[in-house]
Chains A and B, each alone.
Chain A
Amino acid sequence: MKMKSAAFPYLVWMAVFIIVPTMLVVIFAFTGRDGSFTLRNLESVGQYSNVFLRSIWLGAVATAVCLAAGYPLAYFIAQAGGRRRNVLIMLVMLPMWMNFLLRTYAWMTLLEDSGLINRALTFLGLPTLHMINTQGAVVLGMVYNYIPYMILPLYSVLTKIDKSVVEAAQDLGADSRKVFLRITLPMSMPGIISGVTMVFVPAVSTFIISRMLGGGSNLLIGDLIDMQFLGSAYNPNLGSAISLVLMILILICMGIMNQFDKNGATEGGIMV
C-alpha cells in the first residue's frame, strides 16, 4: 500500500505526459481533417516505405557501429583501476555536456566540402573528399551523438561481473577467448540490449542529424514527421499515423532484441 501512494505522483505524470499524448496520436492517426474516422492516413504511410527502410537501415548501421566500437571501450574501462576508470567514464560523458545542436553543427563545419578536413587535405596536397550530405555523414553523426548511451550500460554490466566467476571459468579450462565467449559476452547481454535500445530508438527517429549532415536527399522518418507538424506539408493526422507505425516497428524490433536475452535477466542493464 505504501508503495502505491508513493508512486501516485509518477502515475499522474505518466498519465498526463505519456498516456494521454499517446492516445492523442492514436486518435489523430485514425481521423481525417474533419475529425471523422478514416484509414486513409495509415494507407498513405505506405508511400513513405523507402524513408522507413532508410531510417531503420541507417539506425541499425549506427547501432552496430556503436556496439562494435563501444564494447571494447566499455570493457577496457571496466578493467581499469578505480581512479583511472572514473576519469575515462567522465571523458565518455564529456561531449554530452555540450548542446546537441552545437555538436552537430561542429561536424558540419568539419565535413563540408570547404570544411576543416578538406582544407587540411588540400593543404597537404591531397584530393578533397565529399562527405557532407551523404549517408555516411548521417551515420557518423548518429554514432558520435549516441555512443555514450551504448558505453554506459555496457560499462555498468561489465563492472558487475564478479572477478571470481571469470577465474572459475579459467580454472575449469577456458582460455581468454572462451572466457569471453562463454562468460563475459553472455553475462553482458542485458547491457548490450539496453545499449542497443538506447541507441537504436533515438537514431531511427532523429531528424536534426539527418537534416544537418544528410542534406535533402537523406530524409529520415523524423524529418517526415517534423514536416507534417511544423513544416510546409502541414498534416498532423498523417504525422500521427507515421509516428504510430514507427512506434509499432520499434516495439517489434525491441521484441526481437529481447529474445536474445534468454533468461529475461535485465539485472545491471538500464531498461528503457
Chain B
Amino acid sequence: MHLENEPIISLRNISVSFDGETVLKNFNLDLKNGEFVTLLGPSGCGKTTTLRIIGGFVKPDTGDVFFNGRKINSLPPYRREVNTIFQKYALFPHLNVYDNVAFGMRVHGKSEKQIRAKVGEMLNMVNLNGFEHRNVNLLSGGQQQRVAIARALANEPKVLLLDEPLGALDLKLRKDMQAELKKIQKQTGITFLFVTHDQEEALSMSDEVVVMDKGAIQQIGTPLDIYNEPKNAFVADFIGESNILDGVMREDYLVEFSGRPFRCVDKGFRPDEPVDVVIRPEDIDIVSPDGEHLTGTVQTVNFKGVFYEIIADVQGFKWMIQTTDCRQPGAEIGLSIRPDEIHIMHKSEYSGMFGDYTTFSDEMDEDIRTQPESEEEG
C-alpha cells in the first residue's frame, strides 16, 4: 500500500548530458501523491528532460528514479504507470477520436464493453460528447488537446506528465484549459507534473512550483512562497517583475541600499553581509519628494490598464514602479517602501544579472515570454 506522506515519485541524484552538454546535474525531486506540481523555467533548463526521465524516454547517466519506493530505472515506458500529454499532443492520425482514447485500454486487453463505458466517461469529462467518430486531424487545437487529455487519463495513470500542453493554444483558450485541467486534477486526484515556461500559468495552477534553471532546482515552494520569498535573483526576476538592488545587511531588521538605511523584516544574516534586496514594483508608493524618502526622476510611463508602469531613475539605478498614480516623465518623485515589502536574499551566482530596468522595453519582454520552447533533447 502506498502511504499518504510517501512520495509517489522520487528522483535521486539524477545527472544527464546530451552530446557532452549537461542538462541535469545532481537533480533531486519528490512528488507527493495527489498534488499539482509545476516545473517552471526558461528554455533549456532541463524541465522537459526531467519529464522524459519519469516517462522512461530518457535514461539518466547517473542517479535513480523511484515509483512508490520501487526503483524503475530500467522499466520501459510501456510498463510505467504514468502517462504523458505531449507538447504537440501526438494523437494517432490514422485513428478517430474514439479509437485514440481507447488505445491504451486496447493494448492492455480490456473488453470492448469496458472500453466503451470508459471512453464515454472520458469524452464527457473533457466536453467532447458526440465527437467519437470525428477525424482527429480535422479537430481544432483545443479539441485535439482535450482528446490527448482523455486518451492519457483513460489509462487511469498514477501520475500524469504534461509537457507544455497549452503552449500551442491562443491566450483565451489557454486560460480556459488552465481552469479545466485544474478542475480535472481535483476531480481525479491524480498527481499532475506540469511543465511550462509561463510563470503566470505556473502560479495560477499549481500546489507546488519547482523553479529550474541550468539543470538545477532554484527553488521549490507554493506559488505564494516563491513570489513573496524568492531565494535568489533568478527566481525573483523569473517570477513576476522585481527591482533587485545591491544592499548590505547592517543588523537584523536593518538593511542599507541606495545609500540609505531601511527597516525590514528579515534576520539571520551576518553583520554587514552583502545581500540582494528585492522590491516588487507594485509595493512601491509614490510620495512627494521630501528628505525622508528615496527620490528619483520619472523616465517613462506606460499605461497598462489597471495601473501605470513607471520607470524611474534613482541614483543611476532604474526602478520599475507599478502604481495607479499617474506622473509625467521628468517629474521628481519620492519612493515609499514599507518594511514588510522589502525582501532580502543571500548573494548567488545570479546576483547583478537581473533586476535593473535600464535596458527594459515592453517589446523585448514580450518576445522572451512568448518564445516557443525549443527541443531540449537535441
Contact = CB atoms under 8 A, between A and B. Distances in A.
B108 interface: yes
17 contacts: A162-B88, A164-B86, A165-B92, A169-B103, A169-B107, A171-B77, A171-B78, A171-B82, A171-B152, A172-B83, A172-B103, A172-B104, A172-B151, A174-B78, A174-B103, A182-B106, A183-B92
A33 to B, nearest CB: 53
A168 B92 contact: yes
B78 A265 contact: no
A263 B78 contact: no
A171 B55 contact: yes
A40 interface: no
User: Number of contact residues on A: which range applies?
Assistant: 20 to 34
Contacts of A187: 92-94
Given A174-B107, A182-B107, 7 more contacts: A165-B90, A167-B57, A170-B76, A171-B83, A172-B103, A172-B155, A173-B108
A186 interface: yes
A265 B93 CA distance: 10
A186 B78 contact: no
A182 B94 CA distance: 10
B78 A175 contact: yes
A171 B77 CA distance: 5
Which A-B residue pairs are the 3 nearest by beta carbons?
Answer: A172-B104, A164-B90, A168-B90
Contact of A167 (B79, B90, B94): B90
B50 interface: no
B84 A171 contact: yes
A178 B92 contact: no
Contacts of A263: 94, 135
Contacts of A183: 92
Nearest to A171: B84
A165 to B, nearest CB: 5
Interface string B107-118: 110000000000
A173 B84 contact: no
Interface of A: 162, 164-165, 167-175, 178, 182-183, 186-187, 189, 263, 265
Interface in B178-227: none
Nearest to A267: B93
Interface in B61-105: 76-79, 82-84, 86-88, 90-94, 103-104
A173 B104 contact: yes
A170 B75 CA distance: 12
A167 B104 CA distance: 13
A189 B95 CA distance: 13
Contacts of A189: 94
Nearest to A174: B107
Nearest to A183: B92
Given A172-B104, A172-B107, A164 B88 contact: yes
B59 to A, nearest CB: 14
Contacts of B84: 167-168, 171
A164 B173 CA distance: 24
B26 to A, nearest CB: 27
Contact of B86 (A167, A173, A174, A182): A167
Interface in B125-151: 135, 151
Contacts of A167: 55, 57, 77, 84, 86, 90
A74 B84 CA distance: 29
Given A170-B76, A171-B84, A186 B94 contact: yes
Given A178-B107, A182-B103, A182-B107, A170 B78 contact: yes
Contacts of A169: 92, 103, 107
A160 to B, nearest CB: 10
Max chain A C-beta neighbours (<10 A), residue from B79, B84, B93? B93
Contacts of A178: 107
Nearest to B155: A172
Contacts of B103: 169, 172, 174, 182
Contacts of B152: 171-172
B58 to A, nearest CB: 11
A185 to B, nearest CB: 10
A101 to B, nearest CB: 41
A174 B77 CA distance: 9
A48 B87 CA distance: 60
